Amino acid sequence: MSFPPPGRDFYGRLPFDPMVPPPKPARVREVTGGTRKNRAATEKARKYQREEVVELARRRHLLDVDDLEGEEMEHILETARSFSEVMRRPIKKVPSLRGKTVVNLFYEPSTRTRLSFEVAAKRLSADVLNFTASTSSVEKGESLKDTALTLRAMGVDAVIVRHPAAGAPWLLRRWLDVCVINAGDGMHAHPTQALLDLFTMRERLGGLEGRTIAYVGDILHSRVARSGFKACLAMGMRVIAVAPPTLLPSFVPPGVEVQHDLDEVLPRCDVLYILRIQKERQTEGRFPSLQEYVSLYQLNMERLGKARPGVLVMHPGPMNRGVEIASEVADAPHAAITSQVAAGVAVRMAVLFLLLGSGEGGV
Ligand code: NCD
């Protein structure tokens, strides 16, 4: 008999198929006990299990925002709000993920995303392992699969992965039976960034429905924009992609308006979302000169003056001050860039908490 059996992988599992719906709901753990003394707590836990934990815990992975239905996105944002309250307490730690181990598996440089996942996991009392490709056996030629199997053998509960290859988190999901969270794969997706951006906009603008956001700059290479488009459209926002034709992908989702003239777009927007020129992903020159790009697309004080008075300026970081955004704009009261970083911790706490499915400890 051949091994692996026909149609199965090395572990006897069926091949990966992105169209396969998420697994059946995880068994809901029955809450027992209920003496007079803890009846209220028991009832609270039951209510929580019925209404909240079940949806996300059954999913186990967060690979892109279209994995999430509208209500789930809403629920993550609501949970993040509770965690942002925790972050204002003098003691910022809750025991929710005590005994769980989370690994940050980063094959690309990162400051904000890696640190905020680490802070988020630690504030939930999880143990955190940090894997950085440049200081690991990857340098000796180890494959993603062998690294993944090593982590599985160590019994980690969640893998947070950033990888230069689009699709890498989907491969991990196939190889691992633990929670996988996409922290950015190539030019493809960055779901937690999209969620934290929604959270920031909602906190600063109130409702999102009917609001207009323009993503400005290097959309072609931006996983932030790709996930952001989907998330904003799902929330009923109007989305404009503003870039020179050479920095736009050949496909933008239906519902996204494409524009090349930033000055024309400015007065229509509630949010200006500025993107970095991703030189590390560019194989050829996409515009004649940096000076020309700056003159047409940099968000400077003069352009900010043409925008709506209360416009929100966002940037996922890292910023190249003086290129896509003028330094004074990055420091202006319109800028929500540090709010985005704070939201990143709260949203990632919510995602970890909901995906790892522990209702213990509470917020
Ligand atoms: C972005 C990324 O890595 O995709 N940054 C981030 O996650 N905060 C955007 C970028 O690198 O420009």
> How does pLDDT run across 71-129, given as a tens digit for each residue?
899 999 999 999 999 999 999 999 999 999 999 999 998 999 999 999 999 999 999 99
Asked whether the bond before 95 is cis by omega within 30 degrees of 0, the reply is no
Distance 41 CA to ligand 1 centre (A): 41
Q: State what percent of residues in the chain have pLDDT above 70.
A: 81
Q: What is the pLDDT of residue 36?
A: 58
Quick check: 34 pLDDT over 50?
no
User: What pLDDT was estimated at residue 186?
Assistant: 97
Ligand 1 atom nearest 317 alpha carbon:
8
CA of 318 to the centre of ligand 1 (A): 7
Q: Kindly give the number of the ligand 1 atom that is closest to the alpha carbon of 276.
A: 12
Q: Within 6 Å (CB) of ligand 1, which residues are found?
A: 112-113, 184, 190, 193, 223-224, 276, 278, 316-317
Measured on CA atoms in the order 313, 319, 325, 329, is the torsion positive or negative? positive
Structure confidence at residue 37 (pLDDT): 53
Report whether the peptide linkage leading into residue 316 is cis, meaning its omega lies within 30 degrees of zero. no
User: Residue 2 C-alpha to ligand 1 middle, in angstroms?
Assistant: 45
Residue with tokens 């969640």: 158
Q: List, in sequence order, the alpha helices (H) in 161-222.
A: 168-175, 191-205
Atom index in ligand 1 nearest the CA of residue 275 equals: 12
Count helices and strands (H / E) in the chain.
13, 9
Whether pLDDT at 25 is above 90: no
In the chain the domains, ranked by start, together with CATH numbers, are 39-189+345-355 (3.40.50.1370), 191-337 (3.40.50.1370)
Q: pTM of the prediction?
A: 0.83
| Ligand 1 center to 6 CA (angstroms) | 41
Radius of gyration of the chain, Cα coordinates, nearest whole angstrom: 22
pLDDT band at 363 (very low <50, low <70, confident <90, very high): very low
Tokens 């929500």 locate to 336
| pLDDT surpasses 70 at 27 | no
- On the question of pLDDT at 167 being above 90, the answer is yes
pLDDT grade for 158, boundaries at 50, 70 and 90? very high
Q: Distance of alpha carbon 47 from its chain centroid, rounded?
A: 28
State the pLDDT at residue 41.
58
Most distant pair of Cα atoms in the chain: their distance:
74
